[in-house]
């Protein structure tokens, strides 16, 4: 069940943060063996670490390729926005759950209303309440060994990134752009008329192909430095000029930061499992029959059902 990427290789990844990873490991190893196994069966028998990375690679390439380097337009930004939705829901949400379980086990359950810990229960079901819970009531679990990670969750909550995510997921957003004239560039103006018109024609075709916003005149281009995403945090209201906005540059920063949080947590969970295995608490391995199931079981277990094929395996 271990990944083939070694620690030095992880540090070369642009979406990996060593401090966040190591602090997350320190939290995950505090889980009881039973809880680590329960969470591990869910986390590690979904898409593998590298399957998740492969699925993300195509969208990441849109925003980082040389071909699109100065053309972070609406088509690319829209793809990145939905990528943001995907990794928060598909990676961040499940890897926050062990931390929520740890907080509960340590007595940090949030407010008790009528014998019920409603905020805790909501945190187990939805991403917004989960971010809020880890950014508020669960903060004591981060104080000693994971202060950097703790501060990230505070930021995720206070910056209302869950509402930004919800607005994108429910199509409560729009792009607002202004244009600039390429003829203001001396190098463009100096081109012969025929070459210049052909270049504008090619650019217009490329914009349509990539889903970029159009312009009224062929010599105009979108001013991406001032372009922004306007979105409505209240899903019952329409998007208006009073709705909150973030620039394309801010969206890129949000996504880059979210990637580091998501992928660092994703690599941290199996790393914590190795430590617990060394400590004699759990056993980790692959099903030798189907080669797909990931076994995350107590060290004392003699048999275990494979979560993929269902066969009962004898553990040596």
Is-contact 228 244, C-beta < 8 A? Answer: no
> Rounded distance, CA 170 to CA 279, Å?
45
Does residue 252 have a pLDDT over 60?
yes
**pLDDT at residue 304, rounded to an integer:** 84
| H-assigned helices in 65-192 | 74-87, 93-105, 118-123, 127-135, 140-143, 147-158, 161-169, 186-189
In this structure, of 40-54, 82-96, 241-255, 290-304, the range with the lowest mean pLDDT score is 40-54
- Do both 21 and 82 map to the same domain? yes
User: CA angle, corner 142, sides to 29 and 23, nearest 5?
Assistant: 50
**pLDDT at residue 143, rounded to an integer:** 94
**pLDDT at residue 51, rounded to an integer:** 59
pLDDT tens digits along 264-300: 999 999 999 999 999 999 998 888 888 788 888 999 9
- Do both 189 and 296 map to the same domain? no
- Do both 263 and 122 map to the same domain? yes
- Do both 154 and 85 map to the same domain? yes
Distant-in-sequence, close-in-space partners of 44: CB < 8 Å, separation ≥ 6 = 1, 269, 270, 294, 296
Entry pTM: 0.81
- Do both 70 and 91 map to the same domain? yes
Total domain count for the chain?
Answer: 3
Average pLDDT over residues 22-37: 96
* Mean pLDDT estimate for the chain: 84
Is-contact 153 146, C-beta < 8 A? Answer: no
**pLDDT at residue 56, rounded to an integer:** 58
Q: Could you list the residue range(s) of the whole structural domain that residue 195 is in?
A: 179-222
- Do both 25 and 81 map to the same domain? yes
**Encoding tokens for residue 57?**
């690679």
Does residue 5 have a pLDDT over 70?
no
In this structure, of 167-171, 199-203, 253-257, the range with the lowest mean pLDDT score is 199-203
In this structure, of 31-40, 193-202, 253-262, the range with the lowest mean pLDDT score is 193-202
**HSE-up of residue 245 (Cα within 13 Å, Cβ side):** 16
Does residue 38 have a pLDDT over 70?
yes
Q: Which residue has the higher pLDDT, 4 or 214?
A: 214
Does residue 240 have a pLDDT over 70?
yes
- Do both 151 and 52 map to the same domain? yes
Task: Name the DSSP class of 198.
Answer: H
> Rounded distance, CA 221 to CA 171, Å?
25
- Do both 17 and 163 map to the same domain? yes
Distant-in-sequence, close-in-space partners of 94: CB < 8 Å, separation ≥ 6 = 42, 43, 46
Average pLDDT over residues 107-124: 95
pLDDT range class, residue 6, cuts 50, 70, 90: low
**Percent of the chain residues topping a pLDDT of 90:** 49
Does residue 163 have a pLDDT over 90?
yes
Does residue 4 have a pLDDT over 60?
no
Q: Is residue 237 part of a domain?
A: no
pLDDT range class, residue 54, cuts 50, 70, 90: low
Q: Is residue 243 part of a domain?
A: no
**pLDDT at residue 288, rounded to an integer:** 80
- Do both 165 and 26 map to the same domain? yes
**Encoding tokens for residue 99?**
């931390």
DSSP SS3 for 229: strand
């Amino acid at each position: 069940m271990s990944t083939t990427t070694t620690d030095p290789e992880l540090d070369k990844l642009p979406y990996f943060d060593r401090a966040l990873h190591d602090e997350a490991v320190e939290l995950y190893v505090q889980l009881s063996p039973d809880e680590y196994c329960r969470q591990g069966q869910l986390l590690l028998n979904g898409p593998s670490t590298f399957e998740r990375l492969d699925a993300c690679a195509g969208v990441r390439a849109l925003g980082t390729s040389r071909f699109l380097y100065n053309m972070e337009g609406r088509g690319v930004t829209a793809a990145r926005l939905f990528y943001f939705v995907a990794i928060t829901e598909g990676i961040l949400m499940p890897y926050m759950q062990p931390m929520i379980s740890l907080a509960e086990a340590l007595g940090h359950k949030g407010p008790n209303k009528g014998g019920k810990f409603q905020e805790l229960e909501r945190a187990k079901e939805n991403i917004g309440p989960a971010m809020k819970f880890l950014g508020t009531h669960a903060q004591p679990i981060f104080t000693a060994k994971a202060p950097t990670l703790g501060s990230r969750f505070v930021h995720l909550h206070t910056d209302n990134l869950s509402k930004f995510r919800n607005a994108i997921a429910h199509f409560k957003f729009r792009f607002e752009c202004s244009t600039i004239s390429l003829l203001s560039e001396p190098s463009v103006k100096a081109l012969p008329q025929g070459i210049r018109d052909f270049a504008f024609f090619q650019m217009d075709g490329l914009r349509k192909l990539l889903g970029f916003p159009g312009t009224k005149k062929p010599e105009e281009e979108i001013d991406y430095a001032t372009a922004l995403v306007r979105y409505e945090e209240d899903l019952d209201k329409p998007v208006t000029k009073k709705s909150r906005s973030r620039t394309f540059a801010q969206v890129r920063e949000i996504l880059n930061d979210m990637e580091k949080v998501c992928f660092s947590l994703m690599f941290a969970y199996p790393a914590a499992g190795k430590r617990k295995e060394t400590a004699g608490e759990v056993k980790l391995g692959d099903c030798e029959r189907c080669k797909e199931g990931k076994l995350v079981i107590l060290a004392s277990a003699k048999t275990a059902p494979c979560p993929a094929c269902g066969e009962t395996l004898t553990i040596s």
